[in-house]
A and B are shown apart, each in its own frame.
Chain A
Amino acid sequence: MSSGKGGELIPSSSELDLDRPNIEDYLPSGSSIHEPLGKLRLCDLLDISPTLTEAAGAIVDDSFTRCFKSNPPEPWNWNVYLFPLWCCGVVIRYLILFPVRVIVLTVGWIIFLSCFIPVHLLLKGHDKLQKNMERALVELICSFFVASWTGVINYHGPRPSMRPKQVFVANHTSMIDFIILEQMSSFAVIMQKHPGWVGLLQSTILESVGCIWFNRTEAKDRETVTKKLREHSQGVDNNPLLIFPEGTCVNNQYSVMFKKGAFELGCTICPIAIKYNKIFVDAFWNSRKQSFTMHLLQLMTSWAVVCDVWYLEPQNLRPDETPIEFAERVRDIISVRAGLKKVPWDGYLKYSRPSPKHREQKQQSFAESVLRRLEEN
């Protein structure tokens, strides 16, 4: 879940180091700067062309930026016959569909609030009943949201039974991912704390289903959150955790690296793959380009939000696997199912610079080859 501000870069904190497995396996093969061949000569030292080529390649095109590029569908309204049809479409969408949807949503909110507030205030003593009713009501309001975009959601796969020590992970395209999943069954999501009306909803209603907040910009926050995650997953009566391990919204064509936090809780991981059909609307929330409110309005003035949700087979940590390898394995499963291309970057690089570790590795391998070749005579 990404926050609204874009473009500010803060220095990378050391915690980012922990999340990156062998990135060198993914980087282009020019990673090794020189091939060690025979005696070192002046031309070997002066020839910086491989490094320059890598830099120029990154300037011209890079896999990280591609993950966050909104790719709107090709405009089809460009000729004399189709254009009037498209105009009719605009009229229908903005003047008919949109008001109807706003009404539906308003009705939904009225019903929800008139049930939720009494339940929340009056049923204070009866915990179990209160929890169940609040869960049902949150599912209800999510269904209303989905209806307000004319959501057509195909759920595939056997929905895993709700058991303790189970954590759900999914790829992340927009905050609506959560709403789509929540309407089927109650989850406790871990989300970035947002400002504005979203933040208000977070602290009141979503609190009741057990959601956990974090603040991406606070370095210490990570330990607190890991602790909360662990406590929640061990608890018996809590809603199952839903985590988006990418940590940020990606454009539904790529997947960035999964953070290992969810994978070291000692729980079974149930992967969920979500794929939106772009023909109707591009559901990618480009938080650098628009606020969540604008994003919702865009969805409400489109024809429909069509997506596929696959519940995939639950996975467990294998005995010889590290949590990072486990995270990558699950990312692979989700990416294959949703047709996403994997890139070796940490989603948080949207907000900060890469750690110096990678540059140092390149420097180290070059330095070693120079010294080695110097000794060959």
Chain B
Amino acid sequence: MGNTSSMLTQYDIEEVQQHCNNAFSQQEIVSLYERFCQLDRNGGGFVSGEEFLSVPEFAVNPLSQRLLRMLDGLNFKEFVAFLSAFSPRATVQQKIEFIFKVYDSDGNGKVTFNDMLDVLHDLTGQFISEQQREQVLTKVLEEAGYNKESLLVMSDFVKILGSSGLKMEVEVPVD
């Protein structure tokens, strides 16, 4: 692996820290850089989908493909920014924004019925039929005051998820 931390200067670390809005401490950024280099086996400066999928714990996750679309080709700075939603210092708003981005696959700021159906499909696989999924989703949408044609935006997500006590934190191991 080589001397990874000596390849990151204090200046680089501060730049990354700013880019992620101080979500991580400088030590955590150094650890994340070591991890990034460990994952980036061919040294291309970014971690490819294949390299992420070589982590078995990630490959068995139902949302891995969806996340890969967001992760593919990120350089280190963007990688840290991606993970910043999972920092203990991130706000609930930032976490909800992340979740919104996972749903909003075309990035137009609106989550459709089909977007939600797709994520539900990823999470339940073949164990619920397509029809049942639609039924369940329609039912809970209507109970919450929306319907099949509703286009949810960020503020809707905040309203729905804001009060449910989101636990979305990851600890970065620091030597």
Contacts and interface: CB of A to CB of B under 8 A. Distances in A.
Contact of B86 (A7, A40, A56, A371): A56
B125 A60 contact: no
A364 B55 contact: no
26 contacts: A9-B50, A9-B53, A42-B144, A47-B99, A51-B123, A53-B169, A54-B57, A55-B58, A55-B61, A56-B83, A57-B170, A60-B83, A60-B170, A61-B35, A288-B41, A354-B59, A360-B125, A362-B61, A363-B124, A363-B125, A364-B125, A367-B124, A367-B127, A367-B128, A370-B124, A370-B128
What DSSP secondary structure best describes chain A's contact surface? helix
Contact of A45 (B71, B126, B140): B140
B7 interface: no
Contacts of A370: 124, 128, 136
B157 interface: yes
A353 interface: yes
Interface string B39-52: 10110000000101
Contacts of A42: 140-141, 143-144, 146, 160
Interface extent on A, as a size class? 35 or more
Contacts of A359: 59-62, 125
Contacts of A48: 63, 99, 102, 119, 123
Interface string A226-257: 00000000000000000000000000000000
A279 to B, nearest CB: 19
B154 interface: no
The 4 closest A-B pairs by CB, nearest first: A363-B125, A367-B127, A58-B57, A367-B124
Interface in B12-64: 32, 35, 38-39, 41-42, 50, 52-64
Given A9-B50, A60-B172, A55 B56 contact: no
A213 interface: no
Given A7-B42, A53-B86, A353-B53, A45 B120 contact: yes
A358 B164 contact: no
A78 B95 CA distance: 43
Interface residues of B, number: 61
A44 B165 CA distance: 11
A341 interface: no
Interface in B109-159: 116, 119-120, 123-128, 132, 136-137, 139-141, 143-144, 146, 157
Given A48-B63, A367-B127, A58 B136 contact: no
What DSSP secondary structure best describes chain B's contact surface? helix
B167 A53 contact: yes
A324 B59 CA distance: 24
Interface stretch (A62-70, A90-98, A137-145): A62-70
A41 B60 contact: no
A42 B163 CA distance: 12
B99 A46 contact: yes
Interface in B72-118: 83, 86, 95, 98-99, 102-103, 116
A64 B119 CA distance: 27
Contacts of A9: 50, 53-54
B170 A53 contact: yes
B103 to A, nearest CB: 8
Interface in A347-377: 349, 353-354, 358-360, 362-364, 366-368, 370-371, 374
Interface in A95-137: none
Nearest to A289: B1
Nearest to B61: A55
Nearest to A51: B63
Given A60-B86, A353-B56, 19 more contacts: A9-B50, A40-B140, A42-B160, A46-B103, A47-B166, A48-B123, A52-B86, A53-B86, A54-B61, A55-B64, A55-B67, A56-B86, A59-B39, A60-B83, A61-B173, A354-B60, A366-B62, A367-B124, A371-B132
Nearest to A40: B140
Interface string A73-100: 0000000000000000000000000000
Given A40-B136, A368-B127, A70 B55 contact: no
Contacts of B55: 58-59, 62, 64-65
B168 A52 contact: yes
Nearest to A364: B127
B133 to A, nearest CB: 9
A43 B146 CA distance: 13
A107 to B, nearest CB: 37
Contact of B57 (A7, A43, A62, A353): A62
A153 B120 CA distance: 57
A120 B67 CA distance: 60
B59 A353 contact: yes
B127 A55 contact: no
A199 interface: no
A287 B30 CA distance: 26
A48 B168 CA distance: 9
B101 to A, nearest CB: 11
